[in-house]
Amino acid sequence: MKTAFRTMLTMLIGVTLFACNQNSKGATAKGATTEESSQPQGQAAVKDDVSNPNVLQIAIGSASHTTLVAAVQAASLENALVNAGPLTVFAPTNEAFAKLPAGTVEDLLKPENKAALANILKYHVTPGNYSKEFLMKFKKLGQANNGSVEVEIKGGEIYVGGAKIIASIPASNGIIHVVDQVMLPKE
């Protein structure tokens, strides 16, 4: 029902705009942001395909982070990830999420668990732009959920909250470290 509604709306806007043939950009943004409260409203809605991509744009473009992106959207954290930051985001892969006990992800994505999900996701974000080498200067990091996470070096590899950094991608507002595990807050 909802989808049908959205399609109808889109068509209508399209038709109206076609008839209007002016100022289409502003009007589209309006249609997208005001009608659906689940749509990002705020900085995440800024259209900019020219600047270097930010953390959220990179995650959205990554085939191995679809679960993470779905979780970010379910927790309405899009705007936090496009902020000037800078942010260091530890991004568990789909495989990392799959390692969690069966049903965990599905449970977390339920609306009633939004706060718990947000807490876990914010535990993956450090205010600061820290490269892999730079992270070695820390023993612990203060995370956006108010918790802190340990940084360890084992066999020349760097582990954050037990998760191993397997790749690093610079973003316009920080850096993404792809990790092989979901980091779970202690309490």
Partner 1 sequence: MKTVQKFTLLSLIVLFAAGCNKNANTANDGALGSDAASRVYVKPGSYDEFYAFLSGGFSGQISVYGLPSGRLFRVIPIFSVDPEKGYGFNEETKPMLNTSHGIVPWDDAHHPELSQTNGETDGRWIFINGNNTPRIARVDLTTFETAEIIEIPNSGGNHSSPFTTQNTEYVVAGTRFSVPIPQKDIPIKDYKGNFKGALSFIKVNPETGNMNVEFQVLMPGFDYDLAHSGKGKSDGWTFFTTYNTEEGNSLLEVNASQNDKDFIAAINWKKAEEYIKAGKFREIPANYAHNVYDDKKHSATSTMIKTVRVLIPEECPGLVYFLPTPKSPHGVDVDPTGEYIVGNGKLSTDLTVHAFSKVLKAIEDKNFDGEAYGIPILKMDAIVGGVVKDAGLGPLHTEFDNQGNGYTSMFISSEVVKWKVGTWEILDRVPTYYSIGHLMIPGGDSQKPDGKYMVALNKITKDRFLPTGPELTQSAQLFDITGNKMELLLDFPTIGEPHYAQGIAASKIQSKSLKYYPLAENEHPFAAKAEKDTKVEREGNNVHIYMTTIRSHFAPDNIEGIKVGDKVYFHVTNLEQDWDVPHGFSVMGAQNAELLIMPGQTETLVWEPKQEGVIPFYCTDFCSALHQEMQGYLRVSAKNSNVPIKWSLGE
User: By the criterion CB under 8 A, which residues form the site for partner 1?
Assistant: 5, 8-9, 12-13, 16-17, 19-20, 22-23, 26-27, 29-31, 33-35, 41-43, 45-48, 79-80, 83-85, 87, 122, 127-128, 137-138, 142, 144-146
Least distance between partner 1 and beta carbon 46 (Å): 4
**Minimum distance, C-beta of residue 64 to partner 1, in the bound complex (Å):** 26
Cβ-defined contacts of 61-70 (< 8 Å, 24+): 62/91, 64/93, 64/94, 64/95, 64/178, 65/91, 65/93, 65/94, 65/178, 66/94, 67/92, 67/94, 67/97, 67/98, 67/105, 68/92, 68/93, 68/94, 68/97, 70/109
CB of 101 to partner 1, least distance (A): 26
84 versus 166: smaller Cβ distance to partner 1: 84
Write down the residue that tokens 């950094």 correspond to: 165
- Which of 97, 130 has the CB closer to partner 1? 130
If the CB atoms of residues 93 and 126 are measured against partner 1, the closer one turns out to be 126
Question: CB 93 → partner 1: shortest distance, Å?
Answer: 24
Residue 8 or 167: which CB sits closer to partner 1? 8
Q: Would you say 53 or 85 has its CB closer to partner 1?
A: 85
What is the number of other CB atoms lying within 10 angstroms of the CB of residue 133? 9
| Structure-token pair, residue 82 | 């496009």
Q: Which of 57, 80, 54 is nearest to 69 (CA)?
A: 57
Least distance to partner 1 from the beta carbon of 135, Å? 10
